[in-house]
Amino acid sequence: MLGLKLLTDPRWANIAESNLEEILTDHAWCEQKAATNAITLIANNSEHMDLVEELTAIAIEEMQHFQMVVEVIKQRGYTLGRERKDDYVGRLVKFSRRDGSRNNAFIDRLLFAAMIEARSCERFRVLSLNIKDQELAKFYHDLMISEAGHYTTFLNFARKYTIDVDVDKRWKEWLEFEGELIQSFGNKEAIHG
């Protein structure tokens, strides 16, 4: 799925469902961070008008997702907790190329975003197929489709705007790294936990 090297054990969905307040809080902040990431990409690469337009749409959509998750939290009588630390994303940040040319860093930032979209999409799929709560299963199914679209957008912009990065080669490195990394996850009630 989306080139991912390792699929999530469906039992992770049971861990997630055992603490909905926690997974929903973590999820809400994932959406906020996705919006923030899109805004940063816009601010740093404003010369590309098509990117500005499409990432503005994504930033808005991610905040709509945030709003939807917060609404679910409210409906169920839960409280939105504080932002959770995302160790998985922290490891991806460390893997990103931030040295080298401006274009190198830009392309890797797009691939970083594509990577998180791909895994989030896969995790939403696992939730939609395995949780018993049918209302939430539908919710995660719809979000899965949206995040798959974002994944494609980020990867396409990397291919379009590369100067000298071999995007297919670098994307393979991302997938290899992430496939190793995710082996030590899948045991916590967090979207990337």
From candidates 54, 62, 86, 178, binder to Fe ion by CB under 5 A = 62
Q: Which of residues 25-44 bind Fe ion (CB under 5 A)?
A: 31, 34
Question: Which range in 38-46, 47-55, 109-117, 133-141 contacts Fe ion by CB under 5 A?
Answer: 109-117
8, 122 Cβ separation under 8 angstroms: yes
Site pattern 148..167 for Fe ion (x: CB under 5 A): --x-----------------
Quickly list H helices, the chain.
11-17, 20-44, 49-75, 87-95, 102-130, 134-161, 167-181
* Nearest one of 133, 116, 98, 99 to 58, comparing CA atoms: 116
Q: What sign does the dihedral 150-153-159-164 (CA atoms) show? A: negative
* 147 touches Fe ion (CB under 5 A): yes
Q: How far apart are CA 170 and CA 186, in angstroms?
A: 25
- Exactly one of 20, 25, 45, 65 binds Fe ion (CB under 5 A); that residue is 65
Smallest distance, Fe ion to C-beta of residue 175, A: 18
Which CB atom, from 20 or from 30, has the smaller least distance to Fe ion? 30
Q: 67 or 187, CB closer to Fe ion?
A: 67
Q: Is 28 exposed, middle or buried (0-12, 13-18, 19+ CB in 10 A)?
A: buried
Residues interacting with Fe ion, by CB under 5 A?
31, 34, 62, 65, 117, 147, 150
